[in-house]
Chain A
């Protein structure tokens, strides 16, 4: 459910770019990533639905914000292209590390979905890494915007590595993995890419948290108001 919500909400955000990208090729690429993530969300939520007796649409469209389990990072606004890419970069690096571990999950379904998603996410990561380098080491303006975006979003990265009771239980059962252990390789890679892109890794250490428990930012309510509009306005209708 957490994996599905992360993919769903980030996909929703990327879908907002449609027709408004900085160059046609990027319009296509942003839509492509949105589509991959939406596909992954459907697999995760479909599986969660089988376990809880609901279908993917009931899960996506009929829960309120407090029941969503995505991390705060993915619900942050698109901002400028630098913010969108910084958000994507932080997420993609983590997502890849996580899916690598989950593809060895004892739960075959989880392992299968993770292995499939991993191929797509490897491409997402290459693409967002390229943009960090281009914008970081591009012009003075792009450098300043990229640094600002990284600074603004840094406080939402801590939650990615947080282990709560459910995570620990899943890890012990061999289904999930140790998220805290992903922090070091993640930070190493962020540092390497930032160094190459002449950017500074933000120093601030206080981290926002709560998404995984259903305590979200104000953003999520607006995302859902838009996303769920038709299902809420016409209860029970088939589309």
Chain B
């Protein structure tokens, strides 16, 4: 057997691939792309939520939101570490993000306009992310699969807190309920887009499935999300912004309308409402932090020299 065949055989038998094992270059590159994109999403995702930390409506909500955003930065940290096991540095990954070469989840290119959006992000965006990530806990690359197990535990807490924000709003005043409905109207379709294009349109799907980097198809995950989320929305007393959304007893699933793929493509290409702001904020933080990082390195070097002398 060739090395590639041995590799595929291990994957087929469900043996995890570890950093020092042989892997085809395409497998390594695909994983770097996917894990770094996931890490960048955690980091950029801090911005829309951070937008409401200083305006959270109660001290309890502020504490929960701070803890959540801190978790996300932590997820970014161990995802970068997982990607580093594949031979790419964090500096390189960050440079690729800033140059636009690497992507992050497009969902964070939508603005958080009201407090209800913080609820919607937890309920819908984290809810969609969990569905994706639970599948990835079984992926073939060991460090990534283990990172996912850890992340999933925290994400389910994030989703619950988001739902609880909306539940409180829906049981509150007329204005609060309208705020919740407006958030659902704006976040529903972008959340469905998080699962990516139809499988027939997905460029890497077949190879990734063979390598067990992709476990369930985009459309399969999307259906699961819709089936899980619609009853939760009905319990809130909210209306989904999709006239075609309907339970299909024959299929045993909800039917739903077609995603606006024009919008999807445009947001990915940089034309979303916040693409420029998000990237600029990250680049500014990095550039304005350069002198701090340099100082820390210079200090460490001086003291290393002193210790050696």
Contact = CB atoms under 8 A, between A and B. Distances in A.
Interface of A: 8, 12, 15-16, 18-28, 31-32, 34-35, 38-39, 41-42, 45, 56-57, 60-61, 80-81, 133-135, 137-139, 141-142, 145, 226-227, 229-231, 234, 236-239
B292 A16 contact: no
A23 B76 CA distance: 12
Given A32-B70, A135-B292, A237-B176, A19 B59 contact: no
A142 B73 CA distance: 25
A24 B76 contact: yes
Interface stretch (B24-32, B45-53, B151-159): B45-53
Nearest to A60: B59
Contact of A239 (B46, B80, B115, B175): B115
Contacts, number: 137
A83 B285 CA distance: 16
Contact of A27 (B56, B73, B172, B173): B73
A19 B281 contact: yes
B54 A138 contact: no
Interface in B111-150: 115
B15 interface: no
B175 A234 contact: yes
23 contacts: A15-B50, A16-B53, A18-B50, A20-B50, A20-B285, A22-B288, A22-B289, A22-B290, A23-B293, A26-B292, A60-B59, A80-B288, A81-B289, A135-B295, A138-B298, A226-B54, A227-B55, A231-B58, A234-B175, A238-B172, A239-B58, A239-B115, A239-B165
A19 B285 contact: yes
A38 B66 contact: yes
A238 B59 contact: no
Contacts of B63: 35, 38-39, 42
B256 interface: no
DSSP majority for the A interface?
Answer: helix
B98 interface: no
Contacts of A31: 66, 69-70, 73
A237 B172 contact: yes
A139 B298 contact: yes
Nearest to A81: B292
Nearest to B296: A134
A24 B69 CA distance: 12
A15 B57 contact: no
Given A28-B70, A230-B115, 18 more contacts: A15-B54, A16-B53, A20-B285, A28-B73, A60-B59, A61-B57, A138-B294, A139-B294, A139-B295, A142-B291, A226-B54, A226-B55, A229-B55, A230-B56, A231-B58, A234-B176, A236-B173, A239-B57
B294 A142 contact: yes
Interface of B: 43, 46-47, 50, 53-63, 66-67, 69-70, 73-74, 76-77, 80, 115, 165, 168-169, 172-173, 175-176, 281, 284-285, 288-296, 298-299, 302
Nearest to B114: A230
Contacts of B284: 20
Nearest to A35: B66
Contacts of B54: 12, 15-16, 226-227
Nearest to B45: A19
Nearest to B278: A19
B77 A24 contact: yes
Contacts of A42: 59-60, 63
B66 A15 contact: yes
A227 B284 CA distance: 25
Nearest to A80: B288
A61 B59 CA distance: 9
B57 A19 contact: no
A140 to B, nearest CB: 9
Most chain A CB inside 10 Å of its own CB: which residue of B57, B173, B281 = B57
B292 A22 contact: yes
A98 to B, nearest CB: 22
A57 B53 contact: no
